[in-house]
Amino acid sequence: MVTLAEVAQHAGVSASTVSYVLSGKRSISADTRQRVERSIAELGYHPNAGARALASSRSNIIALMIPLRTDMYMPVMMQIAIAVATTARAHGYDVLLLTGEEGPEAVRRVTGSGLAEAMIMMDVELHDERLPLLRSTDQPSVLIGLPADTSGLTCVDLDFTATGALCVEHLATFGHRDIAVVGEAPAVYERHTGFAERTLDGVRSRSRELGVRVLHRPCEGGYDAMSVTLARIFDERPVTTGFVVQNESAVEPLLALLRQQGRAVPEDVSVVAICPDELATQASLRLTSVAIPAQEMGRRAVELLVAKLKGCGTDEVVLLPPELTVRASSGPARAGES
């Protein structure tokens, strides 16, 4: 293993000079820099991460805590994780992957040991048990998702309240007066995951304003669950003509079932999905949808975190504005139908 000292010797300079060439924290004559850089290349030197972390108390690692659960839509999680890793690297950081499994203890472990300098938490619940720890630490952190109380926290998320409202508006504009929300799995609501509840808030308040009736039904993914849910919806509100789906694994089943029941989309019923664009465009019908900007969320989270690490970051809640793209699954309600 090549050490800094060996590089220094090889280049005929002192250790500190090599260090400074590497960090750029003080000016080096062009000549010296050249020699050092040549030695580094020639010897194949790589600074030791542990030593560096010890001496500088900066590990250049940020932790990313992802949910262990399988009821969250994996592709979105994955896209966020990849965006986080990519963006982090662009800023000189590596990413440590933590699963929610260890719970708050993981936060303590990683912070306490100085393994990671900062952390990004996904899948935040409204009253997340990890938040007190996060607030008490001086370690910078960013949440992807929005807890109930954001004071002292930095968060990034799609504005799900606005998203819910936007979906309702869209349907209302088309004359739909009775809409159903096909939501996430019951467990998601039971643990009070912010995004699901906020969407509902947005849907409900906007509906009230616009005089639209709303029926909300949580739904596990898959055909069987969707089939039961759909039956219940039409049973309770036969006049339903608009659907908002916030559950990726229910999207295709919903479309198939509607088709099967002879309800044409968008002629008889309209569907608006809240899902990644890839899903909306690859479904059996090009879906009118509000996109989930997974990449953007991951990227922004890292950027906020890096700003905090540099000391020029503030506690801030970044709500990405929803964008609804009209595709082939929504249209005017039949006159007088609802």
Interacting residues with DNA (CB under 7 A)? 1, 3-5, 12-17, 19-20, 22-23, 25-29, 31-33, 45, 47-48, 51-52, 54-58
Q: Which does 26 bind (CB under 5 to 8 A by kind): DNA, a copy of itself, none?
A: DNA
- CB of 52 or CB of 286, closer to DNA: 52
Q: Coil, strand, or helix at residue 178?
A: strand
- CB of 28 or CB of 179, closer to DNA: 28
- CB of 20 or CB of 160, closer to DNA: 20
To DNA, the closest distance from the beta carbon of 3 in angstroms equals 4
One of 5, 54, 231, 264 touching a copy of itself (CB under 8 A):
54
> Could you tell me if 147 and 131 are in contact, meaning their C-beta atoms sit under 8 angstroms apart?
yes
Cα–Cα separations (whole angstroms), residue 272 to 196, 280, 320 = 15, 9, 19
Q: Which does 31 bind (CB under 5 to 8 A by kind): DNA, a copy of itself, none?
A: DNA
Q: 128-167: b or e for each residue (b if 16 or more CB lie within 10 Å)?
A: bebbebbeeeebbbbbbbbbeebeebbbbbbbbbbbbbbb
E-strand stretches of the chain = 61-66, 94-99, 118-121, 141-144, 155-158, 178-182, 213-217, 242-245, 270-275, 288-291, 317-320, 324-325
139 touches a copy of itself (CB under 8 A): no
- CB of 15 or CB of 317, closer to DNA: 15
263 touches a copy of itself (CB under 8 A): no
To a copy of itself, the closest distance from the beta carbon of 17 in angstroms equals 20
Neighbours of 48 (CB within 10 A): 14
Residue in the block written with tokens 């690490």: 309
One of 5, 41, 74, 228 touching a copy of itself (CB under 8 A):
74
228 touches a copy of itself (CB under 8 A): no
Q: Considering only CA atoms, which of 60, 98, 79 is closest in space to residue 298?
A: 79
> Could you tell me if 158 and 80 are in contact, meaning their C-beta atoms sit under 8 angstroms apart?
no
Report the site for a copy of itself in 146-205 (rule: CB under 8 A): none
To DNA, the closest distance from the beta carbon of 139 in angstroms equals 15
**Residues 6 or more apart whose Cβ sits within 8 Å of residue 26:** 20
Alpha-carbon distance of 197 to 191, in angstroms, equals 10
One of 86, 205, 261, 325 touching a copy of itself (CB under 8 A):
86
92 touches a copy of itself (CB under 8 A): no
Q: Considering only CA atoms, which of 18, 297, 310 is closest in space to residue 143?
A: 297
Q: Which does 23 bind (CB under 5 to 8 A by kind): DNA, a copy of itself, none?
A: DNA
One of 115, 210, 307, 326 touching a copy of itself (CB under 8 A):
115
- CB of 149 or CB of 278, closer to a copy of itself: 278
Alpha-carbon distance of 30 to 75, in angstroms, equals 48
Report the site for a copy of itself in 279-318 (rule: CB under 8 A): 281-284
Structure token pair of residue 171: 């349907």
Neighbours of 192 (CB within 10 A): 14
Please report, as ranges, the residues that interact with a copy of itself according to CB under 8 A: 1, 44, 46-54, 57, 59, 61, 64, 66, 68, 70, 74-75, 77-79, 81-82, 85-86, 89, 94-99, 101-102, 108-110, 112-115, 221-224, 249, 252-253, 256, 278, 281-284
